[in-house]
Structure 1
Amino acid sequence: MRSVFSLVLVLGMALAGFAVYMVKGYVADTEQALIAERERAASSVATTDVLAVSKPVLFGDAITPEDVVTVKYATDFLPEGTFPTLADLFPEGEAQTRSILRPMDVNEVILASKVTAPGEITSITQELRQGMRAFTIRVDASTAVSGFLRPGNRVDIYWTGAFGDAPEETWLIGSAIELIAVDQSTDRNSVDQVVPSTVTVQVSPDDVARLAQAQADGRLTLSLVGADADLTIVPDGAQAITLPEAPEAPVIVADAPAPAPEAVPETCYTTVRRGTETARMEIACTN
């Protein structure tokens, strides 16, 4: 009987110890799970719902509500110009469209700087900054860097011409002038390498007049400026085009007239005979 009691006691103690071990393990696992959850909660990032494109879009494409999806974006890093709802992107209703100004990939957030105003189509006016004007320059393969120009590039402008009968010379008349269109395209991501017939630059109204005069009086040639060049950009509205001045005409000094010869008084003579001799005598002149 005692042996049975002892066996039961030993088994009971063993079971109790095993139960305590299991409880400790469960409590430890629970504590670890709670700690991990707290760490995840501490490291979680607040997000905001914004609109993005549901497909790749290119410059000039029109987007409708069917081309838009809602994505979550980190609130602390939300860029300026996002659209939270379709009503913000299409304020006049879902039948409205907006055109793309910059290419975007799938799920890329739509920004106000990447689309036109509601209902507008893509045009060169979106590229013009306040107070600036567009001026078109006629070019060919030799004057337009053989077709390597793209909207957004900066170029130096040279004028070749002559003043009067002087030989032709070439002057730099503008540095780091921004191109906003090549032919009829304002797409900065175009990969087509064709020789353009025209390029359009962005300059002040006064510089438009200077370029028009330069193009009428001579030839304009463009030189592409490197992306990493140390540029001096003229502020918007300031003079960026400087035309060469015609050299001053030489002053011709006329020779002084020769003095008139002094009048020589007229002298009259007569011949007088005295016998066989003759003599010449001065007498007063008579008319």
Structure 2
Amino acid sequence: MARRLTISLLVALMISGLFTFWLSQKMARNRNVVQAANTYVAAKRTIDPGETLKREDVALVEWPKAMPLSGAFNRVDDVVGRAALYPLGAGEPILDRHLAAPGSGIGLTGKIPSGMRAIALRSDEVVGVAGFLMPGTHVDVLVTYRDGTHPDPLTATVLQDAEVLAAGHQVQPDPTGKPSSVDVVTLLLSPEDAEKAVLATAQGSIHFVLRNGGDHEQAGAKPVALAELAQLPAQKPAMAVAPVAKKPKPDSKSWVVETLMGTKSSTESFN
């Protein structure tokens, strides 16, 4: 009887030991899962575009290692002193594309990629597509002008799919989507397109045409003349007619007849 009791106790101890070992291994694995995380720099508060990041604005946060973030920072010193290009929410990891390049300055200049130019254009359409010309939208630029070979004004598309960097003084769209009236729009252009924009403003009045942000197709639009609006034949410039020189009239001949009557004489002229 005592032997059976001893065996039962030994079996119970073995089972208890095995259970304890299994439980400790499981807890160790759970601890490893929790510790398997990346440390990234995140914003401690809401940060507006153009703000320069300070040390007290950011903090290190843990992020699941299974979900790595491309372009994230692991050191606070890597983001301090750089300007935000886009709004950042509290707790949001900061990525390299969110910040201006080191030493590039703050505000609009930090949003201009290398090799591109920003140019401000004033449009005759002050409201700008009912106020929906906002930063980040894409537009075509049309110019209405006159040339020396056509009697009617012409309208032509000079730029296509140009990105709006700023509308007035705004570099970010209104968070509520409220349209705003602007008189100056800043576009992001290549150096060649910037030259076209300057020439267009010097030759006539320009207008902005809003387009779908996902539509990047270049349309082959031709200039439109005033006569084409009513589908009338275009007027040809009148040709100058040289005045016809008048021929001088020939000199008319005249005859003189002298009449003698006794001692008197008289003369008469006939044409």
Identify whether the pair has TM-score above 0.5, normalized to the shorter chain: yes
Match of 1:207 in 2: 193
Match of 2:95 in 1: 111
Unpaired segments of 5 or more residues in structure 1? Answer: 1-9, 91-96, 234-239, 261-287
Do structure 1's residue 185 and structure 2's residue 175 form an aligned pair? no
Match of 2:85 in 1: 101
- Secondary structure in structure 1 of the residue aligned to 2:13: helix
Contact 1:178 1:202 survives alignment (8 Å): yes
Query: Quick one: distance in 1 between partners of 2:213 and 2:198?
Result: 27
The one-character-per-residue Cα deviations of 1:51-97 (angstroms, maximum 9, x if unpaired) are 2221121212333111221122345654344333333334xxxxxx4
CA RMSD of aligned residues (A): 4.0
The alpha carbon displacement at 1:195 in A equals 0.8
Select 2:155's aligned residue among 170, 183, 186.
170
- Secondary structure in structure 1 of the residue aligned to 2:186: strand
TM-score (norm 2): 0.69
Match of 1:79 in 2: 69
- Secondary structure in structure 1 of the residue aligned to 2:196: helix
Match of 2:128 in 1: 144
Match of 1:57 in 2: 47
Query: Quick one: distance in 2 between partners of 1:202 and 1:244?
Result: 24
Would you say how many aligned residue pairs link Structure 1 and Structure 2? 239
Instruction: From the CA coordinates, give the structure whose radius of gyration is larger.
Output: 1
Sort the Cα spacing of 1:243 and 1:65 in 2 relative to 1 into closer, same or farther, 3 A.
Answer: farther
The alpha carbon displacement at 1:183 in A equals 0.9
The one-character-per-residue Cα deviations of 1:218-240 (angstroms, maximum 9, x if unpaired) are 221212112343x237xxxxxx9
Query: Quick one: distance in 2 between partners of 1:143 and 1:157?
Result: 15
After superposition, residues 1-287 of structure 1 pair within 5 angstroms as 10=1, 12-13=2-3, 15-34=5-24, 36-37=26-27, 40=30, 46-74=36-64, 77-90=67-80, 97-117=81-101, 121-139=105-123, 144-164=128-148, 166-188=151-173, 190-191=175-176, 192-229=178-215, 231-232=216-217, 244=223, 252=239
Identify the range of structure 1 (168-177 vs 100-109) with the bigger mean alpha-carbon deviation. 168-177
The alpha carbon displacement at 1:209 in A equals 2.5
Unpaired segments of 5 or more residues in structure 2? Answer: 226-233, 248-271
- Secondary structure in structure 2 of the residue aligned to 1:72: strand
Aligned residue type for 1:232: E
Sort the Cα spacing of 1:198 and 1:88 in 2 relative to 1 into closer, same or farther, 3 A.
Answer: same
Query: Quick one: distance in 1 between partners of 2:223 and 2:189?
Result: 18
Aligned-pair identity in percent equals 24
Aligned residue type for 2:83: S
